[in-house]
Structure 1
């Protein structure tokens, strides 16, 4: 299941509850870069929405989990949501609830709190255009039994990956890259985590 949407639909007035939120609302902090450079922790999704107004959300998957109890069969939904501004910011989140909509809302909120910066660049020896269209060097990430490798690609290549992986990489801002995947990539929770860890490596490694 995949759905793209923009946040701020029927947006309510934000009333900051944390010190960081108050600093953002008052204009003392006006970029996500400031937050990460100072090692601050984001505890309100509205902070990301405020600083990245063009961020998009994508429902990656929704699974139905049924459990037999003394009272009968209990049905719950597990949702996985990804966010990104298609320009260097990316996050994923999970949510569980008895109603699908609530599970998606919880997952969306979690994805905002898990947002990370993605370093974009041109690490392909075939290109060297010095523009931010790919990964700056080869990175890899693991999630469960899934391993993802992202390899710099020249401009015009596109994202060489399956549709699910390609959609997530586009959210992060990649336009061109090669990818290799190992394990059961149909398990989207593990695949999304592997992609998240690979993209995070662009800053951790670099």
Structure 2
């Protein structure tokens, strides 16, 4: 009977984990020199997201690769952030982020554009659930710094509703320009 309960608990745990997707961004073999020689271990960088506006990243280090990945995934789930998305598919506004020598720029894009970004930034945006965005990384290609710079940019993202509440205005006053910009192409088509 004890075996059945363990299986049930494991099944529930898998269902909880199924809401998140994880991406292994980088794995690195590291060595520590000690008196007897070198101790080899592995460092992993993992991105975890629910494709609905929540994403996190984590680092893990262990003697074996699967254990390093497991540690990184657990840390990523603990450090998740929520990012407001426009229509659940793109960013509300252009944003820049920076960490060390890593700089990233991200722009909102029209439907059908797809995720135009490279490497670690692409993994973060896909786990976040963004479908249309243009991203560019400037400076370092170090995956740790690129991921941190991307998270810095995402933390700066604000929805029109939060900006309106901070300023004491209505959402329509904040997004007025966007609606005018959208009506101009429609007027040309008519």
* Rg larger for: 2
> Secondary structure of 1:105's match?
helix
- The equivalent residue for 2:150 is 195
State the Cα distance separating 1:101 from its structure 2 match.
1.6
Q: Deviations over 1:67-118 (max 9, x none)?
A: 2210111111111010011111100001111222211111111000110101
Structure 2: any 5+ residue segments left out of the alignment? 1-5, 164-190
Q: Which has the higher helix share?
A: 2
Aligned counterpart for 2:22 among listed residues 42, 49, 57: 57
- The equivalent residue for 2:88 is 132
What is the CA–CA distance in structure 1 between the aligned matches of 2:71 and 2:119, rounded to whole Å? 25
Aligned counterpart for 1:95 among listed residues 60, 76, 83: 60
Q: TM-score, normalised by structure 1?
A: 0.67
CA contact (8 A) 1:117 1:203 kept: no
What is the CA–CA distance in structure 1 between the aligned matches of 2:18 and 2:70, rounded to whole Å? 18
- The equivalent residue for 2:112 is 156
What is the CA–CA distance in structure 1 between the aligned matches of 2:99 and 2:74, rounded to whole Å? 21
> Secondary structure of 2:30's match?
strand
What is the CA–CA distance in structure 1 between the aligned matches of 2:122 and 2:7, rounded to whole Å? 30
Aligned counterpart for 1:84 among listed residues 49, 63, 69: 49
Q: Deviations over 1:45-65 (max 9, x none)?
A: x8xx84x75211111111001
What is the CA–CA distance in structure 2 between the aligned matches of 1:156 and 1:72, rounded to whole Å? 54
Q: Deviations over 1:26-56 (max 9, x none)?
A: xxxxxxxxxxxxxxxxxxxx8xx84x75211
| Deviant stretches of 4+, over 6 Å | none
Aligned residue pairs, count: 153
Structure 1: any 5+ residue segments left out of the alignment? 1-9, 15-45, 122-130
- The equivalent residue for 1:13 is 9
Over the aligned positions, Cα root-mean-square deviation in angstroms equals 2.4
State the Cα distance separating 1:12 from its structure 2 match.
7.3
Q: TM-score, normalised by structure 2?
A: 0.72
